C-alpha cells in the first residue's frame, strides 16, 4: 500500500484536525494539519504547493516547494515528472504532502501523478491553503530550494486507465465507471454506463475529503463494493476525478484507476455518449 | 501558538427559536435500506413509489433514478442553520441551488435516488423533515408569512399552524388518505391561501376568545374550487377536533378509485356543501366524545416569544411610501417594493426577491448571515410567491441589509409587485410538464425589472403566476394574470403555448381566474407588455391593473375606452400573439431553454401515490 510513512506520536485531542479514522488506509491518503506541522518542524517531509507560481511566491506553507499543476500537465511524461521530483529534492523515500487552494482536486491530480511514476509515499493535506492560513498555521514567502535528489522511475500502470480500458469496462463484470463532475454536467452528457459521484459530495467545508465511514456509505448506497474495479473520470484533465480516486480509495476500494484524459478525450475520439435532453434542468440553477 | 485558534468557528447560533425536531434519524436509515431493496427487486415498483412519496421524494422528469426532495417548512419558518444545511446538502447531492415552492416547501432537484437518504440525514441534524411532503398525506401546513407582524391580524396564527402540523405528522389517521390534503392558515382576511386549501383558517377573536373562521373543500388543480365557510366561528379549543373530523370524513368517504377526482373538493362538490357541512358537525361531535388524553397531549400550542412581538423602536421609514421610478437610486427602488412596516412600530418585513424561487447555496449562506445579523426573531419565512421574508428588521439596519444582499445578487427589487413572477418547476424537473414555465417566469421577471415595472404602483397589487401544465402547481388560477402550459399546432408546427387567465386572487376573497386565450410561449412577454399598455390607455383614473382586470372579466368597464370585456381584449391582442411563419422564425415555435423543435413529452406524474 502506498502512502505516507512516518512515525509521529499522535496526540489525543478532540480537535477534528487530527481525525480518528477507522479505516486503516485513510492516514496514507490524508495528512492532517497537526501531523504536517509536526513533520515540518522535524524537517522530515517535502510539502508541495500546486497553486500557480505567483500565488506560491506571495505566501505558502512553510518549507513548501512549488510544482504548479500547470507544470505537471504541460508535459506529464513519466521522465519529466521524475525530473520534477528530483529537482525538488524528493528521493524515493521522501514523504510528500501536496496541497492546493481549491478543494483538493488539483492537489489530488498532482499526487496521483507522483504515485503513477512510483512515488508511493505521497499524501494530500486535509486542508486547503486558505484554511491553513485562516487557522494561523505556519506560512512563509521564502522560495525554497533543496539539493537535487535521485528518484527512480517505476510506472504504476495499475492506477491509470486509457480510453480503451474505459470502453472495455462496460462489458466487464464488477467494473464500475465513476463520473465525478457536477450533477447537471453529468445529466447533460456522460460516458454510457457511468455512475455519477459528484466531487461536491466528497469533501466538507472543513476538509477536502469526508470521513471514510461517510464515503463508504455513499459507495454502499450506490452499490460500489471495495472489491469492484473502479475507473474515475471527469471533464478534462482528471482533477475532479483525481479527488474521487482518493476518496474511493479512502472508502476502501482496492483497485482503482484514473482515466486522466477524461471526457474531453472521449468526446474528441467520437466515442458514444449518453445525453439527456428531455428536461431543462439548467434553468433551475440560480446562477 | 495557542490551542484555541485551532478551534473551528462555532456554528451554534443563539436563535430565539428552539429546534422543532420534525425529522427522525431512523426514517433516513429505513429510506436508505428500502432504496437498496428496491434496486435488488425485493420491493415492487408500486410499493416503493408509495413509500418514496410518503417520505417526500418525487420522481424527476423522465428519469426515475433521480428525485425531487421536498423539504417541509411548517408555517414557513426557517432558521439560519437550516438554510446553511440546505445549502450544503444542495451542493453535495443536488445541483447547488434550492427552490422555494409555492407551498412553503424547499425543494432540492435532481438528487440521485441513492443519495436521498443522505439528504434526509442532513435534514434531521437541523430538525427538518421530508416526511409526508408528497403522497396521499397531509402536506406542509402553510401559514401567512405576515402572521405575527400583520397590522390587520387579531392574533398570531403561527403557533396554531405548527401545533396542527405536529399533530398530524406521522399520525396514523392520515398515512393513507384517498389523496393529498392541504391546510393553510392566514393571518388576516387578506394574506394567505385559505380559499384554495382543503382546510383554510383565518384567526379571529370572538368575545375575547381566540378562534378561527374555517373554510373547507377548496383547492387548485386541473379542476379548481373555492372553499366553503364551515361556521361563523370555531373556537381554538375545537380546532383539533374540527380538523380531525374533516380528515376522518375524507378518509372514510373520499374517492379511492378515480385518481383524477379524489381530492376532498370533489367529495364536497358531489355531495353538496350543506350535506358535507352537516356531516362535519356530526363527526366533530363524535371526535370530541372520544378524544383521548393522548391526542390532547399531542396537540400543544407553544407560545411564541411574546417579548419580541411587543418590540418597538418607534422609528418610521418615510421612504417606503415615496414615489420611485426607473431612474431612482436602486436602494430606494428596493425599499419601495421589498419592504413593508410591521404592526410593531419601527420594525420591517424585508422580502428577498428570487427568480421563480431559485437560490444558490452561496446565496443561502449569505441569507443566513443576514438573518442572524438583522432579524430580531432570528429566523425567516418562505412565501408562496417563492421568495423569503425576513422580519423584525430595524429601520437603521436597512441600508446595510441591502448592501450585503446586493453583493450576492439577492437585492433585486419588485418582491411585492407583479414583477416577482411565480413559476412551477415545469420542464426543468416535472414529469407532467408540457412547457418551461420556470424559465418563462424568470424571463418575465428580468424583463419587467429592466423596464422598471416594479416602480409602478398601479401594477403593484397584480400578480403573474405560471404553471407548466393545467395542474396548477404554479397557482396560476389565483393570479391577476395566470398562465398554464400546453401544446398547440400553429401553422402546422407543434408549439408551446399558454392559456392565459384573468382575474384570480388569493385571500378570503379568493377567486379563480377566467380563461381568456392561448398565447404562444415566446409571445407571453410581449402580450403582458401590450396588456399593460392597453390598461394605461383605457383605465379610469387611479384604477389599478388588478381592479381594471376585475371589471373587464365582469364586462363592466365604463371608462372612456374601447375595451370593455374579455372579447374586446382578445381582439386587441390578436396581432401581438401572432407568430411569423415557422420558416422565417423557427425559434418562436420553440420553448424557452431549447434550441430544438418543440414536442410535448410527459410521463407518470406521481401526483397521486
Ligand atoms: C396531477 C398531478 C398534480 C397536481 C394536481 C398538482 C397540484 C399542485 C398544486 C395545486 C400545487 C400548488 C400549491 C397549492 O396547492 O396551493 C402544487 C405544488 C407543486 N407541485 Fe404539484 N401537482 C401535481 C403533480 C406534480 C408533479 C408530478 C410534480 C413534480 C414532481 C409537482 C411539483 C410541484 C411543485 C414543484 C410544487 C410547488 C410549485 C413550485 O414552487 O414549483 N406536482 N401541486
Ligand atoms: S403545474 Fe404541471 S408542470 Fe407545473 S409542477 Fe405541476 S404538474 Fe408539473
ipTM of the complex: 0.90
Domain covering B422-589, topology: Sulfite Reductase Hemoprotein; domain 1 (3.30.413)
Nearest CA in chain A to B35: A221
Asked if A279 lies within 8 A of B62 by C-beta distance, the reply is: yes
Question: What does the pLDDT average to over B187-213?
Answer: 96
> Three-state SS for B602?
coil
What is the percent of chain A with per-residue pLDDT over 70, rounded to a whole number? 91
**Nearest CA-CA distance, residue A192 and chain B, Å:** 15
Confidence band of A6 (pLDDT split at 50, 70, 90): very low
Confidence band of A24 (pLDDT split at 50, 70, 90): very low
Pocket test for ligand 2, best of B101, B425, B600 (most atoms within 8 A of CB): B425
Confidence band of B64 (pLDDT split at 50, 70, 90): confident
Question: What does the pLDDT average to over B410-433?
Answer: 96
CATH no. of B12-125: 3.90.480.20
Q: Using alpha carbons only, what angle is made at residue A40 by residues A34 and A42, rounded to the nearest 5 degrees? A: 105
Find out whether A161 and A259 touch, Cβ atoms under 8 Å. Answer: yes
Which of B359, B429, B592 has the CB atom closest to A281's CB atom? B429
Q: Which protein residue has the closest C-alpha to ligand 1 atom 17?
A: B473
What is the percent of chain B with per-residue pLDDT over 70, rounded to a whole number? 92
Find out whether B458 and B545 touch, Cβ atoms under 8 Å. Answer: yes
Q: What integer pLDDT is reported at residue B345 of this predicted model?
A: 87
Asked if B62 lies within 8 A of A16 by C-beta distance, the reply is: no
Which of A15, A281, A287 has the CB atom closest to B360's CB atom? A287
For the sheet with B63-72, list strands across it.
Answer: B57-60, B63-72, B105-112, B97-100, B358-360
A148-195 pLDDT tens trace: 999 999 999 999 999 999 999 988 889 999 999 999 999 999 999 999
Whole-number average pLDDT of chain B: 91
Q: What integer pLDDT is reported at residue A13 of this predicted model?
A: 33
Q: Is the pLDDT of residue B519 over 80?
A: yes
**Index of the ligand 2 atom closest to the CA of residue B430:** 8
**Architecture field, domain B157-298:** 2-Layer Sandwich (3.30)
Which set of grid coordinates corresponds to residue A157? 500502470
B527-547 pLDDT tens trace: 999 999 999 999 888 899 999
Q: Is the pLDDT of residue B16 over 60?
A: no
Question: What does the pLDDT average to over B579-600?
Answer: 94
Q: What integer pLDDT is reported at residue B491 of this predicted model?
A: 93
Find out whether B308 and B16 touch, Cβ atoms under 8 Å. Answer: yes
Q: What integer pLDDT is reported at residue A15 of this predicted model?
A: 37
Minimal CA–CA distance to B605: which of B62, B140, B43, B31?
Answer: B62
A238-269 pLDDT tens trace: 999 999 999 999 999 999 999 999 999 999 99
Backbone dihedral region for residue B152 (phi beyond 0: left; psi -120 to 50: alpha; all else: beta): alpha
Find out whether B315 and B346 touch, Cβ atoms under 8 Å. Answer: yes
Confidence band of A2 (pLDDT split at 50, 70, 90): very low
Question: What does the pLDDT average to over B446-468?
Answer: 96
Asked whether B430 lines ligand 2 (CB < 6 A), one says yes
Taken in order of first residue, the domains within chain A and their CATH numbers are 19-156 (3.40.250.10), 160-284 (3.40.250.10)
Instruction: Say which range, B59-68, B109-118, B124-133, B290-299, has the weakest mean pLDDT.
Output: B290-299
Find out whether B598 and B436 touch, Cβ atoms under 8 Å. Answer: no
Q: What integer pLDDT is reported at residue B19 of this predicted model?
A: 58
What is the percent of chain B with per-residue pLDDT over 90, rounded to a whole number? 82
Which of B93, B110, B594 has the CB atom closest to A201's CB atom? B93
Q: Is the pLDDT of residue B230 over 60?
A: yes
Q: How many CB pairs under 8 A join A and B?
A: 111
A65-82 pLDDT tens trace: 999 999 999 998 999 999
Confidence band of B99 (pLDDT split at 50, 70, 90): very high
Q: What integer pLDDT is reported at residue B2 of this predicted model?
A: 32
Minimal CA–CA distance to B17: which of B73, B78, B71?
Answer: B78
Alpha-carbon distance values, A163 to A169, A214, A233, A265, B366 (Å): 10, 30, 10, 8, 43
Instruction: Say which range, A216-230, B73-87, B225-239, B317-331, has the weakest mean pLDDT.
Output: B317-331
Find out whether A178 and A197 touch, Cβ atoms under 8 Å. Answer: yes
Asked if A200 lies within 8 A of B96 by C-beta distance, the reply is: yes
Confidence band of B319 (pLDDT split at 50, 70, 90): low
Please check whether the two domains, B157-298 and B422-589, share a CATH topology: yes
Confidence band of B188 (pLDDT split at 50, 70, 90): very high
Buried b (16+ CB within 10 A) or exposed e, B553-577: beeebeeeeebbebebbeebbeebb
Pocket test for ligand 1, best of B67, B471, B482, B601 (most atoms within 8 A of CB): B471
B22-33 pLDDT tens trace: 999 999 999 999
pTM score: 0.92
Whole-number average pLDDT of chain A: 91
The sign one gets for the Cα dihedral A2, A4, A7, A13 is: negative
**Index of the ligand 2 atom closest to the CA of residue B607:** 7
Asked if A16 lies within 8 A of B61 by C-beta distance, the reply is: no
Q: Is the pLDDT of residue A58 over 60?
A: yes
Q: Is the pLDDT of residue A12 over 50?
A: no
Find out whether A59 and A140 touch, Cβ atoms under 8 Å. Answer: yes
- Residues for chain A: how many in total? 287
Asked whether B221 lines ligand 2 (CB < 6 A), one says no
Asked if B428 lies within 8 A of A284 by C-beta distance, the reply is: yes
**Nearest CA-CA distance, residue B532 and chain A, Å:** 27
Domain segments of chain B: what residues?
12-125, 157-298, 422-589
Contacts of B110 in chain A (CB under 8 A): 183-184, 187, 281, 284
Alpha-carbon distance values, B312 to B77, B144, B315, B379 (Å): 22, 22, 8, 18
Measured in Å, residue B144 CA sits from the centre of ligand 1 at 19
Confidence band of B316 (pLDDT split at 50, 70, 90): low
The sign one gets for the Cα dihedral B118, B16, B413, B156 is: positive
Asked whether B453 lines ligand 1 (CB < 6 A), one says no
Q: What integer pLDDT is reported at residue B259 of this predicted model?
A: 80
Report the C-alpha gap between B382 and B128 in whole angstroms.
Answer: 14
Contacts of A219 in chain B (CB under 8 A): none
Asked if A279 lies within 8 A of B427 by C-beta distance, the reply is: yes
Contacts of A283 in chain B (CB under 8 A): 428, 436, 438-439, 442, 592-593
Q: Which DSSP string corresponds to B26-95?
A: HHHHHHHHHHHHHHTT-S-HHHHHHHHHHTTEEEETTEEEEEEEEEE-GGGEE-HHHHHHHHHHHHHHS-
Q: What integer pLDDT is reported at residue A183 of this predicted model?
A: 97
Q: What integer pLDDT is reported at residue B533 of this predicted model?
A: 97
Amino acid at each position: 500500500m502506498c502512502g505516507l510513512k512516518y512515525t509521529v506520536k499522535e496526540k489525543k485531542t478532540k480537535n477534528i484536525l487530527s481525525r480518528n479514522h477507522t479505516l486503516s488506509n485513510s492516514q496514507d491518503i490524508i495528512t492532517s494539519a497537526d501531523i504536517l506541522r509536526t513533520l515540518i518542524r522535524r524537517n522530515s517531509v517535502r510539502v508541495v504547493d500546486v497553486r500557480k507560481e505567483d500565488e506560491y511566491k506571495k505566501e505558502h506553507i512553510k518549507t513548501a516547494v512549488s510544482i504548479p499543476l500547470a507544470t505537471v500537465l504541460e508535459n506529464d511524461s513519466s521522465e519529466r515528472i521524475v525530473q520534477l521530483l528530483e529537482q525538488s529534492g524528493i528521493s524515493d523515500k521522501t514523504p510528500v504532502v501536496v496541497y492546493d487552494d481549491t478543494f483538493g482536486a488539483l492537489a489530488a491530480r498532482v499526487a496521483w501523478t507522483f504515485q503513477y511514476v512510483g512515488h508511493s509515499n505521497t499524501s494530500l493535506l486535509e486542508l486547503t491553503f486558505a484554511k491553513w492560513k485562516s487557522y494561523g498555521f505556519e506560512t512563509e514567502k521564502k522560495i525554497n530550494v533543496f539539493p537535487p535528489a535521485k528518484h527512480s522511475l517505476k510506472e504504476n500502470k495499475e492506477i491509470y486507465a486509457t480510453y480503451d480500458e474505459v470502453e472495455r469496462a462496460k462489458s466487464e463484470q464488477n467494473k464500475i465507471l465513476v463520473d465525478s463532475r457536477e450533477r447537471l454536467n453529468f445529466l447533460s452528457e456522460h460516458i454510457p454506463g457511468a455512475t455519477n459521484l459528484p466531487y461536491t459530495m466528497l469533501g466538507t467545508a472543513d476538509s477536502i475529503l469526508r470521513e471514510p465511514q461517510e464515503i463508504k456509505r455513499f459507495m454502499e448506497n450506490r452499490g460500489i463494493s471495495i472489491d469492484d474495479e473502479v475507473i474515475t473520470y471527469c471533464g478534462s484533465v482528471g482533477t475532479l476525478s483525481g479527488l474521487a480516486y482518493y476518496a474511493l480509495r479512502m472508502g476502501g476500494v482496492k483497485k482503482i484507476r484514473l482515466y486522466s484524459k477524461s471526457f474531453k478525450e472521449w468526446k474528441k475520439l467520437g466515442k458514444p455518449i449518453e445525453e439527456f435532453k428531455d428536461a431543462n434542468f439548467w434553468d433551475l440553477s440560480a446562477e | 501558538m495557542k490551542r484555541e485558534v485551532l478551534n473551528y468557528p462555532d456554528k451554534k447560533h443563539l436563535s430565539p427559536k428552539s429546534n422543532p425536531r420534525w425529522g427522525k434519524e431512523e426514517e433516513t436509515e429505513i429510506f436508505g435500506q428500502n432504496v437498496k431493496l428496491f434496486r435488488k427487486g425485493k420491493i415492487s415498483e408500486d410499493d416503493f413509489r408509495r413509500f418514496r412519496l410518503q417520505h417526500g421524494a418525487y420522481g424527476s422528469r423522465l428519469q426515475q433514478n433521480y428525485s425531487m426532495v421536498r423539504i417541509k417548512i411548517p408555517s414557513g419558518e426557517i432558521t439560519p442553520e437550516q438554510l446553511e444545511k440546505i445549502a450544503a446538502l444542495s451542493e453535495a447531492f443536488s445541483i447547488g441551488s434550492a427552490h422555494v415552492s409555492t407551498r412553503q416547501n424547499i425543494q432540492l432537484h435532481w438528487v440521485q435516488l441513492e443519495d436521498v437518504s443522505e439528504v434526509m440525514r442532513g435534514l434531521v441534524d437541523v430538525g427538518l423533515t421530508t416526511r409526508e411532503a408528497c403522497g396521499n398525506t397531509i402536506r406542509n401546513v402553510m401559514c401567512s408569512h405576515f402572521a405575527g407582524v400583520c397590522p390587520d391580524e387579531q392574533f398570531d396564527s403561527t403557533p396554531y399552524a405548527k401545533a396542527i402540523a405536529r399533530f398530524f405528522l406521522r399520525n396514523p389517521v392520515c398515512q393513507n388518505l384517498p389523496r393529498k390534503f392541504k391546510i393553510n392558515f392566514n393571518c388576516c382576511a387578506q394574506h394567505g391561501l385559505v380559499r384554495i386549501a382543503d382546510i383554510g383558517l383565518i384567526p379571529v377573536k370572538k368575545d375575547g376568545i381566540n378562534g378561527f373562521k374555517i373554510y373547507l373543500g377548496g383547492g387548485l388543480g386541473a379542476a379548481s374550487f373555492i372553499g366553503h365557510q364551515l361556521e361563523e366561528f370555531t373556537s381554538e379549543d375545537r380546532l383539533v377536533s374540527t380538523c380531525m373530523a374533516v380528515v376522518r370524513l375524507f378518509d372514510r368517504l373520499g374517492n379511492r378509485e378515480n385518481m383524477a377526482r379524489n381530492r376532498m373538493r370533489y367529495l364536497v362538490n358531489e355531495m353538496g356543501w350543506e350535506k358535507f357541512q352537516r356531516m362535519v358537525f356530526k363527526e366533530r361531535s363524535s371526535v370530541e366524545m372520544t378524544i383521548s388524553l393522548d391526542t390532547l397531549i399531542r396537540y400543544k400550542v407553544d407560545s411564541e416569544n411574546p417579548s419580541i412581538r411587543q418590540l418597538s423602536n418607534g422609528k418610521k421609514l418615510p421612504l417606503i411610501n415615496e414615489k420611485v421610478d426607473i431612474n431612482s437610486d436602486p436602494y430606494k427602488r428596493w425599499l419601495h417594493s421589498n419592504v413593508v412596516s410591521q404592526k410593531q412600530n419601527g420594525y420591517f418585513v424585508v422580502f428577498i426577491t428570487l427568480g421563480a424561487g431559485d437560490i444558490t447555496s452561496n446565496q443561502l449562506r449569505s441569507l443566513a448571515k443576514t438573518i442572524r445579523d438583522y432579524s430580531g426573531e432570528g429566523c425567516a419565512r418562505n412565501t408562496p410567491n417563492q421568495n423569503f421574508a425576513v422580519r423584525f428588521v430595524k429601520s437603521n439596519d436597512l441600508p446595510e441589509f441591502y448592501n450585503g444582499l446586493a453583493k450576492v445578487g439577492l437585492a433585486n427589487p419588485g418582491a411585492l409587485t407583479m414583477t416577482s413572477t411565480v413559476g412551477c418547476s415545469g420542464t426543468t424537473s416535472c414529469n407532467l410538464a408540457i412547457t418551461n414555465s420556470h424559465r418563462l417566469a424568470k424571463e418575465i421577471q428580468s424583463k419587467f425589472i429592466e423596464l422598471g415595472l416594479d416602480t409602478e404602483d398601479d401594477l403593484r397589487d397584480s400578480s403573474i403566476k405560471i404553471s407548466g401544465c393545467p395542474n396548477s402547481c404554479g397557482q396560476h388560477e389565483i393570479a391577476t394574470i395566470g398562465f398554464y402550459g400546453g401544446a398547440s399546432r400553429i401553422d402546422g408546427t407543434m408549439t408551446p403555448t399558454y392559456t392565459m387567465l384573468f382575474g384570480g386572487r388569493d385571500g378570503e376573497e379568493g377567486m379563480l381566474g377566467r380563461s381568456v386565450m392561448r398565447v404562444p410561449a415566446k409571445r407571453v412577454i410581449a402580450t403582458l407588455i401590450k396588456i399593460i399598455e392597453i390598461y394605461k390607455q383605457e383605465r379610469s383614473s387611479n384604477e389599478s391593473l388588478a381592479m381594471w382586470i376585475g371589471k373587464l372579466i365582469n364586462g363592466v368597464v365604463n371608462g372612456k375606452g374601447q375595451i370593455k370585456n374579455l372579447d374586446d381584449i382578445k381582439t386587441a391582442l390578436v396581432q401581438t400573439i401572432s407568430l411569423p411563419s415557422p420558416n422565417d422564425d423557427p425559434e418562436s415555435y420553440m420553448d424557452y431553454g431549447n434550441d430544438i423543435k418543440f414536442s410535448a413529452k410527459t410521463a407518470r406524474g406521481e401526483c397521486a401515490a
